[in-house]
């Protein structure tokens, strides 16, 4: 009987400690750094030249933050048309876990959604960027640690330039 009480008390102590652990303010702990952006040559798809938005960045964390990794959701949206302030969702990419390995930052993270723009050959990728129906794209980066809520930690406007790598 005494053994069961000791096990019960130990289990209760573990549960209370886990429930009282300090939550991390992801928005305050993280920074999007070294962002490069542009349009990536996705090759020929269904006989058409295709380009997709591409954003590469690192996450830096404050040295005192207790994060080993975060989940990311990068949402690609069209900026609001003139006269409105509502962005239009376009595509998104989920990264299950970005780990902090080198000091307090991640390795470079490259995010490219499936959606993009296509043009019939001989239209070049550069001509696709200059087309009258081409719309710019913005990447909004959301992060969360364990059971926390998603919070936006950065915004990157994708530049109208081709990425060559």
Comparison of pLDDT for 76 and 101, the residue scoring more: 76
Tell me which residue has tokens 């954003």.
55
* Reported confidence tier of residue 7, pLDDT bands at 50, 70, 90: very low
CA distance 157 to 22: 34
* Reported confidence tier of residue 101, pLDDT bands at 50, 70, 90: confident
**What's the rounded mean pLDDT across residues 60-76?**
93
Q: Which residues contact 110 (CB under 8 A, 6 or more apart)?
A: 54, 55, 56
**What's the rounded mean pLDDT across residues 4-24?**
46
pTM of the model: 0.83
Mean pLDDT for all residues in the chain: 87
Pairing assessment for the beta strands 30-45 and 162-163 based on DSSP bridges:
parallel
Task: Give the model confidence (pLDDT) of 17-56 as tens digits.
Answer: 334 445 678 999 999 999 999 999 999 999 999 999 999 9
CA distance 119 to 44: 9
- Which of 8-12, 28-32, 80-84, 100-104 has the highest mean predicted lDDT (pLDDT)? 28-32
**What's the rounded mean pLDDT across residues 120-142?**
94
Cβ neighbour number for residue 46 with a 10 Å cutoff:
6
CA distance 92 to 52: 12
Q: Which stretch of 8-12, 51-55, 95-99, 144-148 has the lowest confidence by average pLDDT?
A: 8-12
CA distance 75 to 153: 12
User: What pLDDT score does 128 carry?
Assistant: 96
């Amino acid at each position: 009987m005494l053994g069961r009480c000791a096990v019960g008390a130990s289990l209760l102590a573990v549960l209370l400690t886990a429930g009282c652990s300090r939550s991390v303010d992801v928005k305050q702990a993280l920074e999007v750094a070294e962002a490069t952006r542009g349009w990536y040559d996705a090759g020929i798809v269904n006989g058409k030249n295709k380009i997709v938005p591409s954003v590469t960045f690192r996450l830096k964390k404050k040295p005192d933050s207790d994060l080993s990794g975060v989940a990311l959701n990068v949402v690609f949206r069209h900026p609001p048309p003139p006269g409105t302030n509502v962005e239009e969702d376009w595509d998104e990419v989920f990264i299950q876990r970005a780990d902090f390995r080198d000091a307090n930052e991640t390795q470079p993270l490259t995010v490219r959604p499936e959606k993009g723009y296509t043009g019939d050959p001989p239209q070049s990728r550069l001509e696709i960027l200059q087309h009258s129906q081409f719309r710019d794209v913005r990447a909004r980066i959301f992060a969360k640690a364990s059971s926390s809520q998603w919070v936006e930690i950065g915004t990157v406007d994708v530049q109208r330039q081709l990425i060559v790598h």
